[in-house]
Amino acid sequence: MKKFTAIGSFLMGCLLTLFICLPFIRTAQQQAPAAGAAAPSSQAAELKKTDHQIKIGLLQLVSHPSLDQIRQGIYDGLAKHGYVDGENIAIDFKNGQGDQTLLKTISDGFVADRDEVLVGIATPAAQALKNVAGETPVVFSGISDPVAAGLSKSLDKPGTNATGTVDATPVKEQLDLAKAILPDAKRMGILYSSSSTNVAPAVKDAKELAAQMGLTVVERTITNSNELAQTAEQLASETDFIFVPNDNTIASAMPTLIAATNAHKTPVFPVVDAMVAEGGLATVGTNQHQIGVDTAEVLVQVLEGKKPADVPVKIVTAVDVIVNSDAARTLGLTLPADVVKGARDTADAGGAAGASKSGGEKSGGEKGGK
């Protein structure tokens, strides 16, 4: 009987403690940052003085490493200029999950909440914002052609309520890299989503350059990620390597793509570093975090009173050579020494690239002739 009395007293004590602590727990939950928020990864500059907390609506098309890095770059770039979320600015981040209806619903919500500046990461997100923004400033990021997308009239003088950054894909450098690794390659696959207008310039350039390099192009498209595995497997069986432009549908399903292409030992050359880290072989790509940092510089000009119509679109030119030595080993390839010299290896936590060396590997030149 005494044993049960002791247990009962213990339970009553626990309940009393929980009752006392509950208000503090609720307060902590309310003060915690919203899901998806990104704290600056570096020391912020001295806070800019503002007469109120500026409300910013941030809409990202879908969550995948490339766009996530852009978003982090925006937070870091803002902090560098003295704007910190939760202090002098309030960023309402939303993920559109690749759904057009949800993108519009979120955009309408930002306008209803009277957010003062709207930021869109990737073309569909920026378009959704601009379609409902009225006179509210829009800043875009992760865009290849804002003029074709109807966001700006020109890069030098946007002439609309939208400005931001563009990241031109260095297609020639990427195909030169592919040929340096696979000198005997004859057939190049191009794979992208038919709904992705953002990839059109890169696909056009890739086909023209491939013809000049003597490569036969096999082009395939998908309408959604459910078609990726089968389409990629077929394309991998017909080609020596596959070029993937900056396509958000494919970027969000890289493991599916790599599983299909690795089964045929066919390398994938994507256009951004995050896609190389997820299994691509190599790229000469724009640094995604830097895109976000540069976008923040444009955003700061808008926050400080400039009209988007008069703020030139910033062209992000910083590129890196990125390789994945783990992917090379999986494919049975040796990355040439002149390629890995000075490159960043995603398989190396330290970021310094080194040549892949394994007795079971073959030279890049042995992949070809399909």
Of the listed ranges 170-184, 294-308, 322-336, 349-363, the least confidently predicted one is: 349-363
For the chain, which residues make up each domain, given as ranges?
54-168+288-315, 171-285+319-366
**106-141: per-residue pLDDT in tens?**
999 999 999 999 999 999 999 999 999 999 999 999
pLDDT at 64 over 70: yes
Q: What is the mean pLDDT of residues 315-320?
A: 86
Here the tokens at position 330 are 């999986």
* Both tokens assigned to 347: 């398989």
Q: What is the rounded average pLDDT of the residues 151-180?
A: 95
The DSSP symbol for 360 reads T
The H-or-E segment that residue 125 falls in is: helix 123-133
Nearest residue to 328 via CA among 274, 284, 265: 265
Confidence band of 80 (pLDDT split at 50, 70, 90): very high
Look at residue 14 in the predicted model and tell me its pLDDT: 54
Confidence grade of residue 352 (pLDDT, cut at 50, 70, 90): very low
Distance CA 68, CA 152 (A): 24
Asked whether the beta carbons of 193 and 250 are under 8 A apart, the reply is yes
Task: Determine the length of the chain.
Answer: 370
Of the given ranges (145-159, 254-268, 282-296, 351-365), which has the lowest mean pLDDT?
Answer: 351-365
* Annotation: CATH topology of 54-168+288-315: Rossmann fold (3.40.50)
Mean pLDDT in residue range 344-359: 52
In whole angstroms, what is the distance from residue 206 CA to residue 212 CA?
10
Q: Give the pLDDT of residue 198.
A: 78
Closest Cα partner for 175 from 282, 265, 73, 74? 282
Query: In b/e form, how buried is each residue of 331-368, taking b as 16+ CB within 10 angstroms?
Result: bbbbbbeebbeebbbbbeeeeebbbbeeeebeebeebe
Could you tell me which residues are beta bridge partners of residue 165?
A: 314
| Contacts of residue 328, Cβ cutoff 8 Å, sequence gap at least 6 | 281, 334, 335, 356, 361
Fold of the domain built from segment(s) 171-285+319-366: Rossmann fold (3.40.50)
- Look at residue 288 in the predicted model and tell me its pLDDT: 87
What's the average model confidence in pLDDT over 159-176? Answer: 94
- Matching fold, domains 54-168+288-315 and 171-285+319-366: yes
CA dist 14 and 24 (Å) reads 16
Query: What are the structure tokens assigned to 177, written together?
Result: 């890299």
Average pLDDT over residues 89-97: 97
Confidence of residue 34 (pLDDT cuts 50, 70, 90): very low
Instruction: List, in order, residues 6 or more apart from 149 with CB less than 8 Å away.
Output: 123, 126, 127, 143, 197, 198
Quick one: pLDDT band at residue 247, thresholds 50, 70, 90? confident
Beta bridge partners of 321: 284
Lowest-confidence region among 18-22, 292-296, 332-336: 18-22
**Of the candidates 39, 126, 305, the residue with the CA atom closest to the CA atom of residue 118:** 126
Q: Is the dihedral of CA 243, 245, 246, 249 positive or negative?
A: negative
